[in-house]
Structure formats: structure tokens, C-alpha cells
Amino acid sequence: MTGQAAAEVAQVAMPMDDPRPGRRIRLLNSGVSARVAWVLRALSVAGPVAAWWALSAGGLVDPAFLPSPAAVWTAGTEMALSGELWSDLTASLGRIGLGFVLAVLISVPLGFTMGALPWAQALLEPMVGLLRYLPASAFIPLLIIWLGIGEASKVALLVLGVVFFNTLMTADVVRQVPRRLLEVSATLGAGRVRVASRVVFPYALPGMIDAMRVNAAAAWNFVVVAELIAATSGLGYRITRAQRFLQTDRIFAILVVIGLIGLTIDITLRLLRGRIGRWAA
Amino acid sequence: MTLRLDGVGKEFVPGTPVLADLDLTIAPGEFVCVVGASGSGKSTLLSVIAGLTPPTSGRVLLDGEEVTGPGPERGLVFQTASLYPWRTVARNVGFGLEALGLPRARREERVGRLLDEVGLRHLATALPGRLSGGQQQRVAIARALACSPRVLLLDEPFGALDVQTKEDMQLFVRQVWQDVPTTVVMVTHDVEEAVFLGERVLVLSCDPGRIARDLVVDLPSARSLEDKRSAGFLALRAEVEDLVRAEHRAHQGRV
């Protein structure tokens, strides 16, 4: 290094020579203690509920627009006791069960093939990638023309809304299997079918369940959307009925039920992933 | 088994050969170490022998039979353990035997013997994520040995280990080589390791990779870590280091 260059380096270094003493640098992702985390979690639910309660109790908002938590609770128990909540719930759960299983049965093999075979990727990705951007809800009128107003069009909407996303997400997960693992498997005498079933599939399974978990939330949304139009049962249908009679308390009660069911689906898939993907933890 | 490379060349990008005109014969039961500066194509060489990378020119022959793809008679171990993380240690070792279609009882018996050989019987039911780096490499070696390979290919197998573990593993791999009738071809950038382990050390040149020097290691076959301090060892090590360094300098000058 020349003398001049050394001098320049020294000059550049100058501002760094005087760090403020006692200044603590915190990592962006520094941890939170378990107790603080639980308090924050409780706050995350209790905060909005308290705000809701305060808003309706303060009499600032017309109860026809925003019913009180107590009124929602009463409306909910009424619906539960009359039995209509359960029949609507069964109808909605039946639809998501059928539609989501169908979507998984189509998208997982399709996505797996796309992720594993480059030619399948080239063949399918442009179309699947395009279809994904068409909003499934915009297909409702078409689906009604094609399939009528019965169950078929509702299940089809759900499948349409989920299948493309889940295909692409599955393909992504499958592509992430390390090349070294595939190479080693080949040197151990495993053919393509064995590598696909005994190496790629188990490696990708936790990620595929993650993808399903994300898309189950979308599926649950689509069930309710499908039931808002031309349905005679289901939670979405119950919402439109309540709207006709301005029963906002019932609408709120159903929304709470929808949220709780969604949460249950999410937790179930999370537990399943935790069990199957124990090795990845 | 005799492994023969006959005018092997490899170009990933046309016009820039990584390996060129490589002729090499390895006798049955030899322990050959391949050293070279980075960019000498030593890992590519191993990949070509494994059948994972098809050569652009020339042939790889195993007992006169041309290698056209990967197979269990040429076991491969990478630097970072490419174990199946969802399989237990025992089921990792048994993977190749499953592919061979060995019945369960015979498979379990063979896996048990291999775990004894690598000293990991007590961890048979553990998942790879719980093992140390050295233990993971032992599993990877046992898994490759399960298929009774005629050649064991090691691609910088101890490159990611700390110095003490690495020494343990060097003694371990010598022991395995003496116990199991297999040829070993090991790629490493560590010259000391190459001289300590190999019966023969190949130095690769750079741009393209060719065999610059083929040296016989004249050390007793029962080796201990003390041998690393013997005059003969140090002289050979210095000779190889000089060769590798010269290749490295030449490579740096060209880029």
C-alpha cells in the first residue's frame, strides 16, 4: 500500500473511531420472553374485543350497524339451540371437505410432476401461472351457467380457487429437494420411481402440508363466497338471510363461527405438519 | 476391479475444458487421493467416475465395462452429509439395500454389521439431525459401503469437520479401507490428508484439469498420526504442496 493510500484509509476510518459509549445495538430479530409473548397474544384478541365492546356500549354507533358482544352471543346461542347453525355448519363443512380434497387430489400430483420433471414444468407452468391470476369469484356466473345452482357449481368454485395456487406451491417445494440428495440416491442404485417416492416425496411432504394450510384458508373463504349466491344452506347463505331482516347480530355470530372454524383447520394442519415434519425441526 | 479412465475430457461450456485427456488406471484395492488447486476439476473428475456427469470425450471403464450412469458398485460420499433427514441412522444405511431388494432380515443384519464397523450401533434409531458432523459422515460412509461398492468415491468428505474430528475420521477411513475389500478414490484440497491416507497421490493441473503428477506414497501401510511427523512424510508433503501451489499460481495468473 502506498503512503497516500494508507492515509486515505485512515481518514475514512476516522468517524468510526468515536463510538458513543454505552450505546447498545439490538438485533432486529432479538427474542421475546415467553411471558411477554403470552401477554401480547392475549392482547391481540382482547384488544379488538374490548374496543368493540366500548364502541357499542358507548352508544356512539347504531346497534343495527354494530351489535354489542352480548347481543351477538345471544343471537349465536339462539341459532345453535334452534339447530339451524348446525345444519348450516354441516353443509359448509361438507362442501369444503369435498372441494378441498378434490383440489388436493388434482394439485399435488400435478405440482409434484411439475417440480420433479423439467419438461412437465415447461409444459404446464405458463398455463397454470396464468389461470392463477383469474379471480375464482369471477367464475361464479359462468359456473352457474355451466353447472347450475346446485352443489356442483359451489364445489367447482372452491376447486378453481385453490387448485392452481396449490399446484404451483407444491411444485416449488418439490424443486427445493437438494441435488446432492438426488445424486447420492442414484449412486445407491435407486431408479427414478424410487427416488420420487422414497426421497423427493418424504423430503417435500412437510412443505406440501404447509402449502395446503395456506390454501385451506382460501378454500374456506370460497365456500362462504359460493354460499352468498344462490344457496339454500350453509353459513354464507345464513348471512344473506340475516341481511334481509337486518339481523346484524346474527351476521356477526356467523362471522365468529367462520373465524373459529378457520382457526381449527389451521391448527389441525399445523399439528399434522409438526408430527410429519418432526425431522425438519 | 480395475478402474480405467481413457482420454476423459469434460466441457460444461463448449471451448473451456474442465478436464482434458485424462488417462488413469487404478488397480483393485488401491487408495488414491486426488489433490489440486480449486478450479482443477477434481470434484468433476469424481462425478464423472460416479456416472453423474457424462464425459464430453473419452470413457470410464470398470473392469473393462463402460460406465454410463450412477450405480451402487461406485459408492459416493459428499462433503456435507447428504443423509435422508427423516430416516433413522439404520434406515439411512439400509437405503441402498432396499433398492437392491434385499429381504428385511438380511438387510437388518447387514446394517447392524456396518453400524458396528463405523461404531454407531448405539445411534441406530437416532435421526441424522441429532448427530455431530463426524458421526454424519460415518453414516454416509456406512450407507455407501452397504452396497459392497467396488469403488468408494469420497468428495472432500472431511472438509467441513474440525481438526480433531478430521484426524479421527482419517484413521477411521484407513481402518475401513483395510477391513473392506474396496478401492478408494478420495478428492481433497488438504495435502497433508492426501499424503497420510493415500497409497498414491495424484496432483491435478488447472485449466484444464490433467494429471500433473502421479506420486507413490512410500509409507508403511499401518499408519498412525505420529507418521505425519516423519521425515519421509514431510518431504513428500512439501513436494505435493509445491506442485499444488504452482498450479494455483498459474491459475490465478490466467484469470
- With cut-offs at 50, 70 and 90, classify the pLDDT of residue B181: confident
Contacts of A222 (CB under 8 A, 6+ apart): A99, A136, A137, A157, A158, A161, A162
In a domain, A172, yes or no: yes
Domain span holding position A132: 63-276
pLDDT of B194: 94
In a domain, A156, yes or no: yes
Contact (CB<8Å) A190/B95: yes
d(CA B174, CA B221): 9
The strands making up B211-216's β-sheet, listed across from edge to edge, are B74-77, B151-155, B183-187, B31-35, B200-204, B211-216
Please write the tens of the pLDDT for every residue from A62-111: 888 889 999 999 999 999 999 999 999 999 999 999 999 999 999 999 99
Which residue did the predictor score with more confidence, B184 or B220?
A: B184
Closest CA in chain A for residue B153: A187
In a domain, A262, yes or no: yes
pLDDT of A79: 92
Whether residue A31 is predicted with pLDDT greater than 50 in this model: the reply is yes
Q: Provide, as residue numbers in chain A, all residues whose Cβ is less than 8 Å from the Cβ of B99.
A: 188-191, 194
Which residue did the predictor score with more confidence, B106 or A62?
A: B106
The strands making up B3-13's β-sheet, listed across from edge to edge, are B16-26, B3-13, B57-62, B65-66
In a domain, A142, yes or no: yes
- Asked if A217 reaches chain B (Cβ–Cβ under 8 Å), the answer is no
* Percent over 70 (pLDDT), chain A: 92
Which residue did the predictor score with more confidence, A32 or A184?
A: A184
Report the predicted TM-score, pTM, of the whole model to 2 decimal places: 0.85
In a domain, A54, yes or no: no
In a domain, A12, yes or no: no
Whether residue A19 is predicted with pLDDT greater than 90 in this model: the reply is no
Task: Give the count of domains, chain A.
Answer: 1
Which DSSP symbol is given to B209? B
Q: Provide, as residue numbers in chain A, all residues whose Cβ is less than 8 Å from the Cβ of B129.
A: 279
Whether residue A157 is predicted with pLDDT greater than 80 in this model: the reply is yes
d(CA B64, CA B60): 9
pLDDT of B248: 86
Mean pLDDT of chain B: 91
pLDDT of A13: 52
Whether residue B52 is predicted with pLDDT greater than 90 in this model: the reply is yes
Whether residue A5 is predicted with pLDDT greater than 60 in this model: the reply is no
Mean pLDDT along residues B29-52:
90
Whether residue A150 is predicted with pLDDT greater than 90 in this model: the reply is no
d(CA B198, CA B188): 11
Contacts of A16 (CB under 8 A, 6+ apart): none
Residue A207: CATH number of its domain:
1.10.3720.10
- Asked if A176 reaches chain B (Cβ–Cβ under 8 Å), the answer is no
ipTM of the complex: 0.90
Mean pLDDT of chain A: 89
Whether residue A276 is predicted with pLDDT greater than 50 in this model: the reply is yes
Whether residue A21 is predicted with pLDDT greater than 80 in this model: the reply is no
Which residue did the predictor score with more confidence, A98 or A1?
A: A98
Contact (CB<8Å) A183/B82: yes
Closest CA in chain A for residue B145: A188
pLDDT of B40: 82
Please write the tens of the pLDDT for every residue from A111-133: 999 999 999 999 999 999 999 99
Mean pLDDT along residues A3-12:
56
Nearest to B146 by CA among B108, B119, B174, B172: B108
In a domain, A251, yes or no: yes
Mean pLDDT along residues B83-101:
94
Whether residue A42 is predicted with pLDDT greater than 80 in this model: the reply is yes
Contact (CB<8Å) A187/B74: yes
- With cut-offs at 50, 70 and 90, classify the pLDDT of residue A1: very low
Q: Provide, as residue numbers in chain B, all residues whose Cβ is less than 8 Å from the Cβ of A191.
A: 99
Which residue did the predictor score with more confidence, B58 or A57?
A: B58
- Asked if A181 reaches chain B (Cβ–Cβ under 8 Å), the answer is yes
